Amino acid sequence: MLSVWLRVIRVRFLLASVIAVSVGLALNWWQNSSLDLLDALLTFAGVMALHASVDLLNDFWDFKRGIDTKTKRTKMSGGTGVLPEGLLKPSSVYRAGIAFLIIGTLIGGYFVITDGILIAMILGFAILSIYFYSTKIVDSGLGEFFVAVKGSMIVIGTFFIQSGQINIESILGGIVVGSLSALVLFIASFPDHDADKSKGRKTLVITVGKKKASKLFWIFPLISYGAIIVGVSANLFPLFSLISLLSMPLMIKSGLGLQKNYDAVENLVPSMSSTLLFGRITGALFVASFLIDI
């Protein structure tokens, strides 16, 4: 049963939030040589709880809307398959999603008390976007935008909790992480195009069509790389941050694979996997660059 719950929570995708928090912590350490360990641990716990919540609620609503029963599931798309296979009750998954949302909210509430109105604004955005993500946001074609904003806010919020300030470095760092997170969601929506469209969803891929959307792939990594290059050029990031560009071969492989196989689900899986790996490696190298330069 534990393995089923880990599957529906999509544990391996939680690494995106780990990287986002780590960027905020590493940036603060590089600038201020300080770390409040308790606040760092609570930040990790709160962000992970909120991330688990959105994944659980997304699985619940996709099942209720009949999307997961129409998609061809892969290891990278089409939901977890837990509810269509009858491994858990929909009500149990929904309650777990709400429970994680409450846990994340309570931890966030602590930071609202200790750090003030900015955290309250970030927390409010997180709660609303998580609860309405699967029913409203993805139906409006704004899924990638909200994921990008969410990733950016995690970095900015983490940095603010540690340092008590927001600066251009934390904003640029947020853009790096947010763009990478949005890219993973973007490419994973290609196999679900038909099922999503039949149930009223309006992803970016549905809005512009698969062929045109495949060419938009390059925008996300260019934004991420661009933010890093701007940061280094303006002495906002250490020179070592350029090691993040070592992931470029993976990015090229993923983009070319998508343009070749955007309409073939089975052939698209390697490109989705390499895109996920690209995002994780780029984020990890970005974190490492702040620690190496100390």
- 7 located within any domain: no
Tens digit of each residue's pLDDT (9 = 90 or more) over 14-27: 899 999 999 999 99
pLDDT score recorded for residue 154: 95
Question: Rounded mean pLDDT of 225-248?
Answer: 97
pLDDT in tens, 58-72: 899 888 888 777 777
What is residue 69's three-state secondary structure?
coil
The residue range of the domain holding 206 is: 13-289
pLDDT at 192: 86
Task: Please give the distance of CA 229 from its chain centroid, rounded to a whole number.
Answer: 22
pLDDT of 142 above 90: no
Q: Is residue 176 part of a domain?
A: yes
What does the alpha-carbon distance between residue 187 and residue 175 come to, in Å, rounded to a whole number?
Answer: 18
* Residue 31 confidence (pLDDT) above 90: yes
What's the confidence (pLDDT) of residue 137? 81
Cα angle value 58/77/176 (rounded, 5°): 80
- Alpha-carbon separation of residue 61 from 32, 45, 64, 132, 192 (angstroms): 43, 24, 5, 10, 15
- Mean pLDDT rounded to a whole number for the chain: 91
Establish if 33 belongs to a structural domain. Answer: yes
Assigned domain for 8 exists: no
**Could you tell me if residue 2 is inside a domain?**
no
Report pLDDT for 72. Answer: 74
Per the structure, the count of domains in the chain is: 1
Looking at residue 169, what is its pLDDT?
97
Domain membership of residue 30 (yes or no) is: yes
Residue 148 and residue 2 in contact, taking contact as beta carbons nearer than 8 Å: no
> Which CA distances in Å does 157 have to 4, 27, 253?
32, 12, 33
Is 156 a residue whose pLDDT tops 80? Answer: yes
CB distance 53 to 191 below 8 Å: no
The answer, yes or no, to whether residue 285 has pLDDT greater than 90, is yes
pLDDT of the residue at 248: 97
Residues 135-155, buried b or exposed e (16+ Cβ, 10 A)? eebbbebbbbebbbbbbbbbb
pLDDT score recorded for residue 294: 58
Q: How confident is the model over 68-90, as a mean pLDDT?
A: 80
Give the total residue count for the chain.
Answer: 294
Closest Cα partner for 111 from 48, 164, 190, 59? Answer: 164
pLDDT interval class at 266 (50, 70, 90): confident
Backbone angles phi, psi at 140, to 5 degrees: -105, 0
Tell if the pTM clears 0.75, that is, is over it: yes
Q: Is 3 part of a structural domain of the chain?
A: no
CA atoms lying within 13 Å on the CB side of residue 145: 9
In angstroms, what CA-CA distances link 179 with 107, 152, 227, 278? 26, 8, 10, 12
**CATH value at residue 188:** 1.10.600
Nearest residue to 30 via CA among 175, 235, 188: 235
Closest CA relative to residue 103, chosen from 157, 44, 155, 45: 45
Q: What is the DSSP string of 181-200?
A: HHHHHHHHTSTTHHHHHHTT
Q: Would the pLDDT of 32 be above 90?
A: yes
Q: Residue 274: inside a domain, yes or no?
A: yes
Which pair of tokens denotes residue 87? Answer: 């491994």
- Mean pLDDT across 241-268: 93
Q: What is the pLDDT of residue 78?
A: 67
Taking a C-beta distance cutoff of 8 angstroms, is the pair 110, 42 a contact? yes
